[in-house]
């Protein structure tokens, strides 16, 4: 059985795997083989191999940026604009965007350079093999919440255009993405490529016309005070930013695309860096711009069109219908607004459903040692999202996102700090990302203590335990505690809980001369498939003649017998010079 369209993993028909080897354990060879085949399109809980990454850097970047067409940005901007006024809202958006870029730079770089998703990065960045499950659950929750918000926006558009009841609109917005999501990265790449130009034309051209032709609308926007007294206040700015911070996990969805970046070489370096910057940490530039536009559209509706509209001005469906109606006949305005909303909703919610299914399958497979297929988790993710829509999560958007932002920032700031400080400054965390079972400890207190402490303190502040004065700054507490606790915990534990082993037992280097993960392929003796070198370890089970055998990280994920896991080495990180020499010997430059 050979996969002609993708030569990443192929069974060795001349020397098939023996059922007895894995059959004696609690997981079957068939299960490991099925997981390998099913993950050809998505590489859940797996390194993305070179043979899959055939797109150019520019193509990957364009696909990743296509996923940020979501309309929740307009609602978020409008909500904080109505609450705090234009000046505070815009400053809050800028502040949040700057912080998100800073957090995103190290995390997105590791994803693009080493072709890993955020869960795999988190494992070796302070959380451990099982500890990262907690962070993956936080991300899975994000995909459900934002799927529900986008689905609600589509349902509002359908109701406005056709009178369709909201519950039916929720259902349609949920099931419409299923056929695309099931087919993985290839289908998503085509969808994003072909729909992005249409979205840009529908969203931006009418807006530009209003800005140019109606200067009074711009003046109303710049002077809008919302429910505030019109003055600029640090508390109002931070409160605005707190809602925006809840969008930070979008970085993880961007990573699900940019982990497919091609190897960086001298010939493609400029394109590679450009795609990394804009599709990685730079996604928030486009997101922040849309939030500011959301403030403008809400103000335009309230000041220039319908002063009594109230909170309905935060609904993108209403915003775009009214915007089009100022330029076109009513029937055409409704049609174009509906097309825009449907295109935007499908573009982002295929990403939400795709990334959510990867997250849920990742968690389940590591816990249960069984892989039932990603389709199950697509449906699971969608059921949760539909339930949130029925609970009318859209009307609580500011509260839900402000609450969620505390945990989100504790999580992502911890990972970014471990990479930037613990790896590159203190050099107490392993410089090169490690994600393979057997190489890592199951739990690492560095990430767990940081996230736990930052989340608890910030949530207590958000609940008002520390007083009304501190409450608006809860998200800053999450950020500050995570930045401090991550290196302090690493120093206190002397980095003992990062690596279980320093050698994976394979002599060949993990990286090529350009510092990219090696494309060398080795045969997994458990599944009979070949995997690329970064995905492999030496097996604790020797061959029939005492020779070294190799086992894939996928097989180890599905095995709970530990019979293939190499024994641990002495705890504690090597001396810096020793670590540097060891890395050089392995070709990790």
pLDDT of residue 36: 53
Q: What is the DSSP string of 192-253?
A: HHHHHHHHHHHHHHHHHHHHHH-HHHHHHHHH--TTS-S---HHHHHHHHHHHHTTTTHHHH
pTM of the predicted structure, to 2 decimals: 0.84
Going by pLDDT thresholds of 50, 70 and 90, the confidence category of residue 426 is: very high
What's the whole-number average pLDDT of the chain?
83
Rounded to whole angstroms, the Cα distance separating 302 from 89 reads 16
What is the topology classification, in CATH, of domain 56-493? Hydantoin permease (1.10.4160)
Render pLDDT for 462-491 as a digit per residue (tens, 0 to 9).
Answer: 999 999 899 989 999 999 999 999 999 999
What phi, psi does 306 have (nearest 5°)? -130, 95
Rounded to whole angstroms, the Cα distance separating 343 from 329 reads 21
What phi, psi does 521 have (nearest 5°)? -115, 135
Cβ contact 162:331 at 8 Å = no
Measure the N-to-C terminal CA separation of the chain; round to a whole number of Å.
Answer: 37
pLDDT of residue 27: 43
Render pLDDT for 33-67 as a digit per residue (tens, 0 to 9).
Answer: 555 554 444 576 678 888 888 888 988 888 777 76
Rounded to whole angstroms, the Cα distance separating 231 from 581 reads 58
Parallel/antiparallel/unpaired status of strands 530-532 and 536-538: unpaired
Give the closest residue to 148 by CA, choosing from 389, 400, 387. 389
pLDDT of residue 189: 59
Rounded average pLDDT over 69-73: 80
Rounded to whole angstroms, the Cα distance separating 315 from 263 reads 42
Which residue in this structure is represented by tokens 């394979």? 506
Please tell me what DSSP assigns to residue 538: E
Rounded to whole angstroms, the Cα distance separating 68 from 291 reads 12
pLDDT of residue 23: 39
Provide Rg for the chain, Cα atoms: 25
Going by pLDDT thresholds of 50, 70 and 90, the confidence category of residue 10 is: very low
pLDDT of residue 276: 95
Give the helix, strand, coil percentages of the chain, each rounded to 5: 65, 5, 30
Cβ contact 77:290 at 8 Å = yes
pLDDT of residue 180: 67
Render pLDDT for 504-558 as a digit per residue (tens, 0 to 9).
Answer: 999 999 999 999 999 999 999 988 888 999 999 999 999 998 899 999 988 888 8
Long-range contacts from 330-336, C-beta under 8 angstroms, 24+ separation = 334/160, 334/161, 335/161, 336/202
* Residue 372 burial class via C-beta count within 10 angstroms: exposed 0-12, middle 13-18, buried 19 and up: middle
Give the closest residue to 131 by CA, choosing from 358, 385, 390, 444. 444
Q: Which tokens in the block code for residue 135?
A: 């962070």
SS3 30: helix
Cβ contact 135:122 at 8 Å = yes
**524 bridge partner residues:** 550
Residue 571 clears pLDDT 60, i.e. is over it: no
Residues in Cβ contact with 568 at an 8 Å cutoff, skipping those fewer than 6 apart: 500, 501
Give the closest residue to 499 by CA, choosing from 570, 554, 564, 550. 570
* Residue 545 burial class via C-beta count within 10 angstroms: exposed 0-12, middle 13-18, buried 19 and up: exposed
SS3 365: helix
Rounded to whole angstroms, the Cα distance separating 122 from 435 reads 8
Alpha helices in 11-71 (DSSP H): 19-23, 29-38, 57-66
pLDDT of residue 370: 77
């Amino acid at each position: 059985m050979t996969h002609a369209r993708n030569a990443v993993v192929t069974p060795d028909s001349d020397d098939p795997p023996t059922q007895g080897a894995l059959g004696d354990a609690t997981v079957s060879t068939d299960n490991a083989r099925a997981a390998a085949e099913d993950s050809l399109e998505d590489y859940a809980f797996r390194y993305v191999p070179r043979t899959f990454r055939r797109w150019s850097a520019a193509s990957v970047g364009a696909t990743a940026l296509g996923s940020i067409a979501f309309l929740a940005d307009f609602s978020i901007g409008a909500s904080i604009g109505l609450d705090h006024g234009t000046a505070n809202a815009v400053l809050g958006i800028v502040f949040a965007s700057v912080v998100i870029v800073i957090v995103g730079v190290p995390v997105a770089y590791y994803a693009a350079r080493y072709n890993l998703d955020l869960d795999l990065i988190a494992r070796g960045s302070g959380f451990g093999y099982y500890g990262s499950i907690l962070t993956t659950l936080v991300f899975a929750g994000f995909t459900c919440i934002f799927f529900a918000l986008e689905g609600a926006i589509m349902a509002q558009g359908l109701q406005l255009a056709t009178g369709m009841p909201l519950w039916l609109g929720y259902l349609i917005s949920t099931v419409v993405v299923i056929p695309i999501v099931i087919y993985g990265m290839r289908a998503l790449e085509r969808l994003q490529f072909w729909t992005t130009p249409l979205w840009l034309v529908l969203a931006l051209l009418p807006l530009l016309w209003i800005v140019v032709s109606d200067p009074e609308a711009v003046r109303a926007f710049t002077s809008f005070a919302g429910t505030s007294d019109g003055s600029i206040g640090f508390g109002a700015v931070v409160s605005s930013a707190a809602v925006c911070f809840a969008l930070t996990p979008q970085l993880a969805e961007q990573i699900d695309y940019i982990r497919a970046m091609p190897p960086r070489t001298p010939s493609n370096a400029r394109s590679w860096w450009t795609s990394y910057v804009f599709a990685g940490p730079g996604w928030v530039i486009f997101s922040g711009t849309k939030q500011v536009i959301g403030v403008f559209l809400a103000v335009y509706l309230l000041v220039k069109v319908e002063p009594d509209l109230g909170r309905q001005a935060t609904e993108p469906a209403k915003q775009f219908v009214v915007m089009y109606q100022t330029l076109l006949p009513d029937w055409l305005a409704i049609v174009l607004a509906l097309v825009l909303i449907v295109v935007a909703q499908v573009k982002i919610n295929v990403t939400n459903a795709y990334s959510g299914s990867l997250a849920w399958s990742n968690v389940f497979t590591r816990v249960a040692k069984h892989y039932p297929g990603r389709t199950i988790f697509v449906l699971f993710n969608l059921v949760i999202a539909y339930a949130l829509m029925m609970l009318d999560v859209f009307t609580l958007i500011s509260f839900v996102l402000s609450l969620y932002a505390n945990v989100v920032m504790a999580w992502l700031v911890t990972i970014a700090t471990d990479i930037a400080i613990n790896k590159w400054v203190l050099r107490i965390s392993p410089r090169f990302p490690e994600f393979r079972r057997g190489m890592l400890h199951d739990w690492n207190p560095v990430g767990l203590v940081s996230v736990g402490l930052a989340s608890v303190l910030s949530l207590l502040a958000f609940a008002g335990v520390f007083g009304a004065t501190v409450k608006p700054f809860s998200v800053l507490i999450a950020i500050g505690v995570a930045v401090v606790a991550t290196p302090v915990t690493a120093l206190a534990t002397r980095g003992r809980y990062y690596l279980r082993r320093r050698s994976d037992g394979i002599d060949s280097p993990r990286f090529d001369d350009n510092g990219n993960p090696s494309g060398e392929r080795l045969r997994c003796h458990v599944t009979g498939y070949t995997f690329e070198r970064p995905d492999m370890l030496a097996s604790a089970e020797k061959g029939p003649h005492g020779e070294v055998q190799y086992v894939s990280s996928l097989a180890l994920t599905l095995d709970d017998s530990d019979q293939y896991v190499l024994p641990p080495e002495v705890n504690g990180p090597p001396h810096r010079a020793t670590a540097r020499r060891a890395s050089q010997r392995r070709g990790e430059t």
